[in-house]
Structure 1
Amino acid sequence: MADLLFFTGTMDSGKSTLALQTNHNHSSRGRVGRIFTAHDRAGTATLSSRLGLTHDAAEVTEDLNFWNHVVGLLTAGGRVDYLICDEAQFYAPDQVDQLAKVVDELSIDVFAFGILTDFRGRLFPATARLVELADRMLTLQVEALCWCGERATHNARTEDGVMVTDGEVIVVGDVEPAPPSADDEPEVAYEVLCRRHHRRRLTAARARATSLTADPLPFG
């Protein structure tokens, strides 16, 4: 029996590294897979890890139908044993349904990797659907850490170092600061935070600026 597996964690928890490792493990045993991604930090049609590993991939666009795509490959005489689907939070919910159909009707394993919530702390529509449909959901064991040392559970977006909670849901960025820009566009970056500091919008930069070593008590 094939499975739809959903691996999740915050940014910087090694999801893309695991996706690449999963592909390596299966391909080295003679299985044939296809790799998909969307809005990867390294650019179009590339699956990249922060460790510096990359692999060619098919870009998941709005008009991609996974069911039609895989059936087309098989009809043309191709072989498909599994799919690696990175950055799955950016897929459409209908595409997640198509992946489930590939598993159920074609007995092809699907390994999906993505984050649960956006920078506002809300579920992505695609990951909500993955939670509903996946045979198993596995949280990555490599935990990203908030600046305070606690386990990071939320992804924060910053513009010029200030945490924001409004704006487009999909804005490509990374946890590493981008080079300074010559135009007037704000510098967009991401930071992983524990729930407490995400709720307080307390980033590492803000904590350093205010010389915080511990959170003040809410009374006094």
Structure 2
Amino acid sequence: MAALDFYSGTMDCGKSTLALQLDHNHRSRGRVGRVFTSHDRAGEATLSSRLGLSVDAIEVDEHFDFWQHVVGELTQGGRIDYLVCDEAQFYTRHQIDVLARIADELEIDVFCFGILTDFRTRLFEGSGRLVELADRVHTLQVEALCWCGERATHNARTEDGVMITEGEVIVVGDVEQTGLPAPTVGYEVLCRRHHRRRMTAASAKAAALSPDVLPFG
């Protein structure tokens, strides 16, 4: 029986790397698949990892019809054994429903990868529906770490290194890297405590250097 699997974790936990590895493993065993993504950091129609690996992919926007695409290829004599769907948090509820239908009715394995919550700590539409429908939900075992060294559980959006909690849900950016200038719009993974305090690595460093944080004058 085909299945709908959801692999989830915070940003910087290796989900896109795993998606690439899973696609490679299945192709190396003679299976034929299709790779989909949405709003990848590397640009349109590309599935990429921070390790520098990438493959061509089919771009999914809010109007993309998975059923029409897959059935269209099959009726033209194409073969599809599995789907790899990265950045699935950006898919609509209806698109996730269709992916479940593809697994059930067309007997095609569907592997979805995505983060659960946005920078406001709210469930993404696609991820929420996957939790409701997936045959299996896998939490990725490579844990991202907060700047304090604790397990990172939340995704924070930053502007010039300062955490923000308002704005458009989908804004493409990348995880900030130690030793490099903070991007205009970036993301940082934080533990819950420091996400609540809006304390990024940059703000923590600034606070440590400020005499205002000392308890005595």
Supply the distance in 1 between the matched residues of 2:181 and 2:50 (Cα, whole angstroms): 20
2:17 aligned partner: 17
Supply the distance in 2 between the matched residues of 1:176 and 1:66 (Cα, whole angstroms): 33
1:126 aligned partner: 126
Q: Using the TM superposition, give the Cα deviation of residue 176 of structure 1 relative to its aligned residue in structure 2, in angstroms.
A: 3.1
Supply the distance in 2 between the matched residues of 1:164 and 1:84 (Cα, whole angstroms): 32
Give the match's secondary structure for 1:2. Answer: coil
1:192 aligned partner: 189
Residue by residue over 1:132-164, the C-alpha shift from the partner in whole angstroms, topping out at 9 and shown as x without a partner, is: 000000000000000000000000001111100
Give the match's secondary structure for 2:69. Answer: helix
Give the match's secondary structure for 2:158. Answer: strand
TM-score by length of 1: 0.92
2:200 aligned partner: 203
Supply the distance in 2 between the matched residues of 1:206 and 1:44 (Cα, whole angstroms): 32
Supply the distance in 2 between the matched residues of 1:148 and 1:37 (Cα, whole angstroms): 32
Q: Using the TM superposition, give the Cα deviation of residue 180 of structure 1 relative to its aligned residue in structure 2, in angstroms.
A: 7.7
Tell me which stretches of 4 or more aligned residues in structure 1 moved more than 3 Å: none
> Share of identical aligned residues, percent?
75
Q: How does 1:18-167 map to 2 (within 5 A)?
A: 18-167=18-167
CA contact (8 A) 1:180 1:187 kept: no
Give the match's secondary structure for 1:141. Answer: coil
Supply the distance in 2 between the matched residues of 1:119 and 1:63 (Cα, whole angstroms): 24
CA contact (8 A) 1:93 1:126 kept: yes
Supply the distance in 2 between the matched residues of 1:176 and 1:114 (Cα, whole angstroms): 19
Supply the distance in 2 between the matched residues of 1:42 and 1:52 (Cα, whole angstroms): 10
Give the match's secondary structure for 2:129. Answer: helix
AA matched with 2:16: S
Q: Aligned pairs, how many?
A: 208
AA matched with 1:193: L
Give the match's secondary structure for 1:111. Answer: strand
Give the match's secondary structure for 1:64. Answer: coil
Give the match's secondary structure for 2:152. Answer: coil
Residue by residue over 1:10-32, the C-alpha shift from the partner in whole angstroms, topping out at 9 and shown as x without a partner, is: 00000000000000000000000
AA matched with 1:190: Y
RMSD: 1.6
Give the match's secondary structure for 1:40. Answer: coil
Q: How does 1:208-219 map to 2 (within 5 A)?
A: 208-211=205-208
TM-score by length of 2: 0.93
Supply the distance in 1 between the matched residues of 2:190 and 2:97 (Cα, whole angstroms): 31
User: Unaligned stretches of 5+ in structure 1?
Assistant: none
Q: Using the TM superposition, give the Cα deviation of residue 78 of structure 1 relative to its aligned residue in structure 2, in angstroms.
A: 0.2
Supply the distance in 2 between the matched residues of 1:209 and 1:202 (Cα, whole angstroms): 10
